[in-house]
Amino acid sequence: MRSPHLDHWLNLVDRPAFLAALGPHDREFGRVVGLPLLAVAAAAVIGGVAFVLVMPLNGLLLHWFSPGSASAPITGVTLHRLDAAVGLVGETARLLTTAPGFIGLCVAVPLVGALLMRRPARSWFTGALQFRWRLMVSGFGLYAAITAAGMALEGLVAGFPKSPPLFQSDESFAVRGLYLLATVAVLAAAAAAEELVFRGWMMQQTAAFTRSLPLIVGVNAVLFAAMHLDSDPAQNLVRFTAGVVYGLVALRLGGLEFGIGLHAANNVMIALFLHPLAETAVTSRMGLGELMVQMGVSLSGLVLAELVSRQPRLRFWAGLAEPDR
C-alpha cells in the first residue's frame, strides 16, 4: 500500500484505499443522519441478545471462583459493590458485561451502513478484500512492547504501581489467567468498536465532504479526546495525539486493523499492569516527564506503521507481503 500523495496544502489528491469506497450516498442528508440513529438502535438489539447470553457466564464465574460472594444475599447491594468485593473475579465479570455493547456496535454499524450507503460492510473496517487479522495482531504485539518500555520509563520518572492487577499475590493463578483472557478479548472488542465509530464511520463521513487531511483526521481526534474528557489538559493532549495517530495509520495502511491492534494494546497494558479500567484514574496531574513519555509512545504508532509498510520481514509477518499498488 503506497502512501497517499499530498499536495502542499495537505489536501488529498489520490484518495487512500480506506476512503476509496465512498460514494454519492455518503453525502445524502437522510442517509447520513439515519446511519448513526439506526446503527445505535440495531446495536442495542444485538447487544441486548449478547447480554442475555453473557449474564449466565458471569454467574458461573462468581460461583466457581468466589462462592462466598456468589451465595451471599445481594439485596440492596449494587453491582459495583459486588464487583469490588470479589476482586479480579468481579472485574472479569464487569468486563464481560460490557462486551455485548461493543459487539453490537461492531456488527450493527457496518451492516446498517452497507444497507444505507450501498457499499460493502467490510469497507467500514478495511479497504482490503477482507479483514487483515495478521495486521491487527502485529499492531497489538509491536505496540505492547513499546508500551511496556514506556511504562518502565514512566515508572522510573513517576514511580511504579504498587499492586498491578496481573501480579496481585492475593489472587490465584487461575483467577489472574481468567482476568488476562477476558481483558485481551473484551478490550480488543472495545478497541474495534471505538476505531469503527471514530476512524471508520466518523472519519469516512468527514471525508465524504472534504479532501482536507487536517479536517479528515482532526475532527475525529478532537471528538475522540472529548469522549474521554479529563480534568487534566495533559491527558486530553495525549488522547488527541492518539486520535491523530490512529487516523493517519488507517489512511496509511488502508484500514483499521493495525490501529485496532495499537488501541487494544494500549488499553490491555493499562488494565494488566497499572489498574483495572473501571477504577478512577489517579487524581494527581500528569507531570512533564510522564507527558513526554506518553506522547512518545503515542507517536511511535506512526513509526511502527511505516516500519510494517516498508520492512520486508515485518510486511510478511503482518500479511502485507504482496507488492505495493
223 and 198 Cβ atoms separated by less than 8 Å: yes
Instruction: Check residue 237 and give its pLDDT.
Output: 93
Q: Determine the distance from the C-alpha atom of residue 184 to the mean position of all C-alpha atoms in its chain, rounded to a whole number.
A: 11
Rounded average pLDDT per 10-residue block, the chain, 325 residues: 55 84 95 96 95 79 58 42 61 89 96 96 95 96 95 81 84 89 95 96 95 92 87 89 96 96 96 77 70 92 94 90 53
Instruction: Check residue 13 and give its pLDDT.
Output: 72
Strands (E), 25-81: none
Instruction: Check residue 268 and give its pLDDT.
Output: 96
| 283: in domain | yes
3-class secondary structure, 220: helix
104 and 197 Cβ atoms separated by less than 8 Å: no
| 246: in domain | yes
Dihedral sign (CA 94, 100, 106, 108): negative
Instruction: Give the Cα separation of 67 and 60 in Å (integer).
Output: 10
Q: Which residues contact 60 (CB under 8 A, 6 or more apart)?
A: none
Q: Give the chain's domain count.
A: 1
C-alpha cell at 74: 445481594
35 and 110 Cβ atoms separated by less than 8 Å: no
Q: In this structure, what DSSP letter does residue 66 have?
A: -
3-class secondary structure, 6: strand
Instruction: Give the Cα separation of 208 and 215 in Å (integer).
Output: 11
| 222: in domain | yes
Q: Determine the distance from the C-alpha atom of residue 69 to the mean position of all C-alpha atoms in its chain, rounded to a whole number.
A: 32
Instruction: Check residue 114 and give its pLDDT.
Output: 97
| 324: in domain | no
| 4: in domain | no
Instruction: Check residue 76 and give its pLDDT.
Output: 45
Q: Which domain holds residue 135?
A: 17-317
| 3: in domain | no
Q: How many CA atoms lie within 13 A of 4 on its CB side?
A: 24
Instruction: Check residue 57 and give its pLDDT.
Output: 75
Instruction: Check residue 284 and give its pLDDT.
Output: 60
Q: Which helix H or strand E contains 202, and what residues bound it?
A: none
Strands (E), the chain: none
Q: In this structure, what DSSP letter does residue 286 have?
A: P
| 313: in domain | yes
| 255: in domain | yes
3-class secondary structure, 299: helix
Q: Which amino acid is at 265?
A: A
Instruction: Give the Cα separation of 245 and 229 in Å (integer).
Output: 18
Instruction: Check residue 91 and give its pLDDT.
Output: 87
283 and 296 Cβ atoms separated by less than 8 Å: no
Instruction: Check residue 156 and give its pLDDT.
Output: 82
CA Rg value for the chain: 21
